[in-house]
Amino acid sequence: MAHSKLNTNMAGIRKRERKALLTGLLFTSPWILGFLIFQAYPILMSMYYSLTEYNLFSPPEWVGLKNYAKLFVDEKFYLSLYNTIFIVVFGLIPHLIFALTMALLLNTNVKGQALYRTIYFLPTLVPAVAGSLLWMWLLNAQYGVINQILGYLGLYQPNWLVDADWTKPAIVLMGFWGTGTTTVMYLAALQDVPKVYYEAASIDGANLWRKFWHITMPAISPVTLFLLIMGLIDGFQYFTQGFIFAEASQSIGGPENSLLFYAIYLYQVAFSFLNMGHASAMAWMLFVFVLALTLLIFKTSAKWVYYGGEK
Amino acid sequence: MKLKALHLMLTLVFAVSVVLAGCSGGTGGSQGNSGTQTSGNTNSSSNSNTSTNTNTPAPEKPKEKVKITFWHVWSDKDSGPINERVAAFNEMQDEIIVEALGNQDATKQLTAISGGNPPDIALTYWNNIGPWADAGAVLSLEEFIARDNYDLAQYVPAALERMVVNGEHYALPLSMSMASTLMYNKKAFADAGITAPPETLEQMFEYAKQLTKRDGSNITQIGFIPDYPWIDNVFWPVIFGGSWVDENGKLTANQPANVASIAYQRKFYEEFGDDQIAKFRSGMGQRGTPQDPLLTGQLAMMIGWEYNFAEERADDGPIGIAPFPYPEANPELKGGGMVSPRAVFIPAKAKNADAAWEFMKYLLGVDSQVEFAIASKTIPSVLPALDDERLTKNEAMKTMWDFYERAKSENLQGFPNSTYINEYLQALSEETEKALKGTISAQEAMDNVVKKIQPLADEANK
């Protein structure tokens, strides 16, 4: 008797759980279906296409790993990779340092703090295309404000958007303008650092630099890790600004292909040359790069990221 | 309890059916793909004829109008001339209604065609025809041409050749853009004491030096920039009598004439300085605005297209025009220049290819092209139109007269259309740029191009 009662109870619970599960699935089904149809399916198909020759019109033709093999002998593939890594290395790290510096300044207790914070965030709200067009004016070699300032200072005035050696630095320079989101995240992280640490350090006689290096940096290291990885992923997909800048020189890769970023080359292979198979292979290579670098960062993060005071 | 179970079952069925619908959408795509295969077989016009006949209840309404869609690239602002043509065709006969849709750039056309839902007829830039035709997206016109004994000899040869891929006509040209003209600032010439435009390229180089002014090391006015408004990897070799591919499918971009055309351009950079030109150039006003460098005199000479300075090049205007100079050693190349037509084509999966062909014949006919030329100030692609008095005696078209005359030149050329055309053009641009900057020699640059693209050409010729 008792046994059978228990059994029905169990069944009741199981039924309820199952019902909850189904209801849950039902309510999340728009997202799940959307993911399956619009993301998982295309992702898997691109995997398949990467092993075929496919031009959108005629059915894909199986070629095995040929598309991947072709990449490794394609000098433009390496060039685009170099351009992209340049932006990631010389763009991302200086931008993080800049954003952290701004956050530290905005975190100090000054009059009109809220106003400053708003002002420094504003440029981030400008759409990438509009911002790029604006910067093309600023960077104009002959009449641009930046070169005029450099002229007053008696410094070298580069042909920013025309000289292949200066196009990428120009893009990095422009990037400083859009670091508002990063700054805000650092700002939030800074405000989370417990004040007691600083008090203790002050009692021990630590100076500002020591406090920054031994308290602030470790305390905000999880945010740095997050920003580093997100920045890396963004950097490898760098497209819009390079595309707009290159348009000024009437060619898709900019002067001497100095703005041919990986994503832009992929776009060219796909939509200008109609090599969807080749382009899909490029997309998967990109995925592999980003994955490998992310894992590498995660690996090293054990050494420099602290969670609640522990590594 | 049972009722709830039923509810659950129903919702589940619903959910599953949604999934299946999604799947069927997916397979629909692949069905579209297999459709391409079959459309290759059903290309023949007789087939599509019968299909339209069976679709329409013949006995009741013998004259059911066929509706076809025509996509073109012009925006609302600029689509007046083409809309006039469409309206005229719709009025002229009562079997076909054409609906025109503008702003359909290459990407949109590509999406529609690959998605299996193309327009019946479309207008695009000529260089799309090669890759699209190779991919099976464009209907070959050979059968229509043979069936109707359609006269291809009336077309400007250089314009018609652009429509040929692997020996077949896949499209026909509606008007053409042409660069065989030198445009110059009259005042800059007068100030420099130059009385007549240069005849040869060697003269042009000398004039360019005379027309260039400096303030210290900075250029304040320049005679000529060979890669303004862009690096033209077709125009320059044409001027020097070059070519890109021979009958055997061997690429010829590194032959002497092509190399000479790049070396000539490099001379300007050596003369005026790479950095100086780059810097001066970035400060030049924007093309087509009142600050256009040729108008302001910042730039004294440029390669001219028929759409440049349509008003300013009048007799009493600030801009002068002349035939583009030729190499002194090759007077037979006089009157040379580049032609880039707009291509009208029928997508492979068009539902009403026959009606589309009727409209195409009308649209590209001499009368229609004359009217189109008047409305849009363009150059017709058919030879009889070039001598039509509605154009040549029409005072309103005066600034076009020289262009109509030059459009008859036998030295007009264009880039050969092919399946690898976009890769070829891209490689030419990239390597030419290096040669212009002096990173490598002109010969090295063109050797690189051939080395890179010959494998693609071999594959296409297989």
- Residue spans of the domains in chain A: they are 2-49, 67-304
Mean pLDDT of B72-93: 94
Half-sphere exposure of A133 (CA within 13 A, CB side): 4
Task: Nearest by CB to A58, from B8, B135, B283: name it.
Answer: B135
Does residue B26 register a pLDDT over 50? no
pLDDT digits (tens, 9 = 90+) for B395-435: 999 999 999 999 999 999 999 999 899 899 999 999 999 99
Structure tokens at B136: 């099976």
Please state the rounded mean pLDDT for residues B234-252: 94
How far is the alpha carbon of A177 from chain B, nearest alpha carbon, in Å? 23
Q: Quick check: B40 pLDDT over 60?
A: no
Question: What is the rounded CA–CA span in Å between residue B28 and residue B116?
Answer: 10
Q: Could you tell me which residues of chain A have a Cβ less than 8 Å from any Cβ in chain B?
A: 19, 22, 25-26, 29, 33, 36-37, 41, 55-59, 140-143, 159, 161-164, 250-253, 255-257, 268, 271-274
CA–CA separation, B127 vs B345, rounded Å?
12
Residue B381 phi, psi (nearest 5): -100, 5
Distance in Å, alpha carbon of A278 to nearest chain B alpha carbon: 13
DSSP SS3 for B301 = strand
- Pick B59-177+339-405's CATH classification: 3.20.20.70, 3.40.50.150, 1.10.1060.10, 3.40.190.10: 3.40.190.10
Contacts A146 to B, Cβ<8 Å: none
Report the C-alpha dihedral over residues B188, B192, B197, B198, rounded to 10 degrees.
-130
Task: Work out the pLDDT band at B53, boundaries 50, 70, 90.
Answer: very low
Q: Is B20 on the interface with A (CB under 8 A)?
A: no
Q: What is the 3-state secondary structure (H, E, C) of B7-70?
A: HHHHHHHHHHHHHHHHHHHHHHHHHHHHHHHHHHHCCCHHHHHHHHHHHCCCCCCCCCCEEEEE
- DSSP label at A256? G
Q: Cβ of B12 under 8 Å from any chain A Cβ?
A: yes
Digit-coded pLDDT (tens) for A231-282: 999 999 999 888 888 876 667 888 889 999 999 999 999 988 888 999 999 9
pLDDT, residue A95, reads 94
Contacts of B280 in chain A (CB under 8 A): 142
- A78-82, A180-184, B54-58, B344-348: least confidently modelled range: B54-58
**Euclidean distance between the first and final Cα of chain B, in Å?**
70
In chain B, ranges of CATH 3.40.190.10 domains: 59-177+339-405, 179-337+415-461
CA atoms of B177 and B219, how far apart (whole Å): 32
| Residue B340 binned pLDDT confidence (cut-offs 50, 70, 90) | very high
Q: State what percent of residues in chain B have pLDDT above 90.
A: 72
Task: Pick the residue from chain B with its C-alpha nearest to A28.
Answer: B15
Confidence of residue B12 (pLDDT cuts 50, 70, 90): very low
Determine the topology of domain B179-337+415-461 in CATH: D-Maltodextrin-Binding Protein; domain 2 (3.40.190)
Q: What is the pLDDT at residue B217? A: 84
Residue B211 in this model has a pLDDT that exceeds 90 = yes
The pLDDT, as a whole number, for residue B266 is 97
Angle separating helix axes A145-152 and A128-138, nearest 10 degrees = 40
Give B226-277 as a DSSP string. TTSSS--TTHHHHHTT--SB-TTS-B-TTSHHHHHHHHHHHHHHHHH-HHHH
Counting as low any pLDDT under 70, the low residues of chain A are 1-13, 248-250, 309-311
ipTM: 0.77
Report d(CA A101, CA A115) in Å as an integer.
Answer: 17
Protein fold of A67-304: MetI-like fold (1.10.3720)
- Provide the mean pLDDT of chain B: 86
Residue B9 has pLDDT above 80, yes or no: no
CA dihedral A209, A210, A216, A218 (to 10 degrees): 130
- Residue-wise pLDDT tens digits, B144-175: 999 999 999 999 999 999 999 989 999 999 99
DSSP B134: H
Instruction: Tell me, rounded to whole angstroms, the distance of Cα B145 from its chain centroid.
Output: 22
Q: Which of A55, A59, A161 is closest, CB to CB, to B37?
A: A59
Check whether the bond before B157 is cis (ω within 30° of 0): no
